[in-house]
Structure 1
Amino acid sequence: MEIILILLVVYIAIFYFLKMRPEKQRRKEQEAMKKALVPGDSVTMIDGMIGNICAVKEKTVVIETGADRVRLEYATWAIMNKGVSVDQTQQ
């Protein structure tokens, strides 16, 4: 009985340190990146759209994309990363 309890605690600790803790750190870094965005920054959206930020609002950002200077408004949760993603520069 004691061995089963010890194994259960060990498995929970392993799960926490290998899965939950790194995910929490990634989420924290992502939120810090989104709060630090300013107009002029280049961003890649989750749908693959690449553009420069024109305006930052509380829950949305306005990006300008392409030579036509088309402006699109996205929710901040849709930002994948700051800058141009490496996968998209190779295409």
Structure 2
Amino acid sequence: MKHETSNLLIGLGIGAVVGVAVGYLMVADNRKKLAEEFDHAVSKVKEEVKDVYSKAKNKAENVKEHVTEDVNHVAEKVAGKTATETK
């Protein structure tokens, strides 16, 4: 009997919370305000993602430049040793 009563009370509590949430969203002003807040949050996330992407792209380009310079430097050294060895 206690178990059934506690399940009933839990069910009533959950139902009340869901009812309040639905009632809150049914009011046009609240729904509009919630939609505006959601749009603002989405815009903020988009901007942050663009910023992170831009920073990552710049870092990748810098790494590429350094690797290219290092490879060219090593290639010049190897070419110099090869030319010296053939003489």
Answer 1 or 2: higher relative contact order, Cα 8 Å, separation at least 6: 1
Interval containing the TM-score (normalised by the shorter chain): 0.3 to 0.5
Q: Which has the higher helix share?
A: 2
Q: Which has the higher strand share?
A: 1
